[in-house]
Chain A
Amino acid sequence: MDAPKVKIYGLVAEFTTPTQIVDAANQAREAGYTAMEAYTPFPVVDLHEAVGFKRTMLPTLAFFGGLTGFCTAFSLETFTSGGAPSFITPFLPDWFYYPLNIGGRPLNSWPAFIPPEFELTVLFASITSVVGMLLLNGYPRIYHPLFNVPRFSMVTSDRFFLCIEARDSKFDLQGTKQFLEGLQPYEVSEVPE
């Protein structure tokens, strides 16, 4: 009986105790798997190291988001107030050029510009963080493929799941399945995408 061909997200092994899953994750890491993730009902000590958890690129994204916000505010304020160098000002459109005399202060009053620059840095960094977090979590797909496995709902009560993802270079459906079964799990299932 041939099932229709579906794209595989990975293979998930179900365990019944925290010790088992830490051991399994350690063995999988030592076997050379890198793209794996563990799912447990509560935080398990040492599991973090066992799955070889890597930081995401989110902090870097947020940094450059903040930098963009700073540059946006800086150029907006400097150009509109006429604080830009004189070789630039002739090229600015009328609606972007308001050289106002405020209390006799210079046009390029950079100390007063800093609070908005700070605000926009924070705003852009936070927006980048939220949007980046959603995208890195797989948006626009709004659920995790593991929920395609019915038994996975037990992860919130008393079962521990180790998933080796198909994007792993060492992944091969038959071989990985055999490897996972060698770890004495309760059950190994395929995760359809």
Chain B
Amino acid sequence: MATISDQVKTSMAVVQRVAFGIGILGLGISGAIFGFEKKQFFESYLIAYIYFFAIGAGSLALLMIQHVSGGAWGFSIRRLLEAGSRTLLLLAVLFIPLLFGLPEIYPWARPDALKDRIIELKSGYLNVPFFIIRQAIFFSIWIGLAFSLSYFSKKEDETAEQSIGWWFKALSGPGLVVFAVTIGLTSVDWAMSVDVHWYSSMYPVLFGFGCILTAMIFHIVAMILLYQGGDLEKYLTKNYLRDFGSFLLGFVIFWTYLTFSQFLLIWCANLKEEVPYYVNRISGGWQFVTIILAIGHFALPFLFLLRRETKRVRSSLFMAACFMLLMRFVDYLYLLGPSFNPKHFHLAISQVTSLLGIGGLWLSFFIYQWNLYPPIAARDPRVVKEPVHGV
């Protein structure tokens, strides 16, 4: 039976308490900012919220992917993914404040919105009541999936029935299809409709994949930190880590492919209704964020992870993952920042406080959820198989 080492256990308890404190403090300051800068508060809150939502939703997607695909990598982080997917419960609660700020964020929710002919045509889908209904349905589906997968996981631990494996697959296969559809609609609801005249068919894929990428990076960091010491260390051997390094490399390349394709198609077509999105992103200071992303989110990790050894060595993979975690935030800032502040680069104080606030609460909730289950699903059929690679 694999257990967490005592040292990790004690530091986890400290981190949980400190994170909770920071979370309350951060949200408190954000709340104070709300008093005199309502618009700024909601904008910052949405960006910070999407960042942590991505980890929760991405965990659910990865959990379902590893249930249908198998593989030693999925087995080694399965409990982390389950804990991550259960944080969607907290994220649903944290979404509620946004409902009070819809007119601050979305042009289509403003009282005079229907004077705009384009918004009027879109109003059948983009209206406040339907928006709230959609979010309620989506969150119920995600939370339902996350908790039923965890429920069967618990049952598997207790009863060791082989038939439970069927349930994982039966939930995960259709679950992935449902997830793809709901996350795509979510991307339109939360982020794309900020630029209400603009549209891109690449956007939902980019957003959904962004969730999976962010979650994968977070779990690489979490795994390396939490499995240290004790008998969990065997899941940090070179052959395991190499899988995660390869995932990271492949995901970074796919992110670049999606991001660049969206840009290239719009750039080539050069249509009046499509280009403003990128004009905002290559002017007024935001062009430097674009360059930072091109270098930090693609060129550096690509060249760094290309080598075989960097993917297998714990310290270098950890470094790369931490750096990518930062870059993911820059990417989410880039996703919405230029739409909120088109003329000039802007990073508000409330951005930092809401990031700390949501992040602190989220992290302490994640640790709480992770402690509920044994760290390794000992009755997973994959546990008996040694991770032997053909290399």
Contact = CB atoms under 8 A, between A and B. Distances in A.
B319 interface: no
Contact of A63 (B263, B264, B267, B306): B306
B268 interface: yes
B182 to A, nearest CB: 32
B308 interface: yes
Nearest to B303: A63
Interface string B258-275: 001001100110100000
Contacts of A111: 260, 263-264, 267-268
Contacts of A43: 390
A151 to B, nearest CB: 28
CB-based closest 5 A-B pairs: A111-B267, A111-B264, A112-B268, A103-B270, A111-B263
Nearest to A55: B308
A43 B391 CA distance: 10
Interface in B265-319: 267-268, 270, 306, 308
- Of the four ranges (under 10, 10 to 19, 20 to 34, 35 or more), the interface on chain A belongs to 10 to 19
A103 B388 CA distance: 55
A55 to B, nearest CB: 7
B227 to A, nearest CB: 24
A38 B171 CA distance: 47
A83 B388 CA distance: 51
B260 A59 contact: no
Nearest to B270: A103
Contacts of B264: 111-112, 114-115
A68 B202 CA distance: 31
A56 to B, nearest CB: 12
A55 B309 CA distance: 11
A144 B188 CA distance: 60
A111 B388 CA distance: 43
B308 A59 contact: yes
Of the four ranges (under 10, 10 to 19, 20 to 34, 35 or more), the interface on chain B belongs to: 10 to 19
Interface in B224-273: 260, 263-264, 267-268, 270
Interface string B3-24: 0000000000000000000000
7 contacts: A45-B388, A59-B308, A103-B270, A111-B260, A111-B268, A112-B267, A114-B264
Nearest to A60: B307
A71 to B, nearest CB: 16
Contacts of A59: 308
Interface of B: 260, 263-264, 267-268, 270, 306, 308, 388, 390
Contacts of A115: 264
A176 B308 CA distance: 34
A55 B267 CA distance: 43
A111 B270 CA distance: 13
Contacts of B306: 63
Contacts of B260: 111, 114
Given A59-B308, A111-B264, A112-B267, 11 more contacts: A43-B390, A45-B388, A55-B308, A103-B270, A105-B270, A111-B260, A111-B263, A111-B267, A112-B268, A114-B264, A115-B264
A45 B264 CA distance: 49
Interface string A100-129: 000101000001101100000000000000
Nearest to B390: A43
Contacts of A105: 270
A63 B305 CA distance: 13
A114 B388 CA distance: 38
Interface string A32-74: 0000000000010100000000010001000100000000000
A131 B270 CA distance: 42
A43 B390 CA distance: 9
Nearest to A115: B264
A119 to B, nearest CB: 13
A112 B264 CA distance: 7
A41 to B, nearest CB: 16
A115 B267 CA distance: 14
A115 B390 CA distance: 33
A119 B92 CA distance: 44
B330 to A, nearest CB: 21
Contacts of A114: 260, 264
Nearest to B386: A45
Contacts of A63: 306
Contacts of B263: 111
A59 B305 CA distance: 13
A59 B310 CA distance: 14
Contacts of B268: 111-112
A17 to B, nearest CB: 20
Nearest to B261: A115
A22 B260 CA distance: 50
Nearest to B388: A45
A102 to B, nearest CB: 10
Contacts of B388: 45
Contacts of B267: 111-112
Contacts of B270: 103, 105
A138 to B, nearest CB: 22
Nearest to A63: B306
A153 B263 CA distance: 58
A43 to B, nearest CB: 8
Interface in A75-117: 103, 105, 111-112, 114-115
A192 B390 CA distance: 31
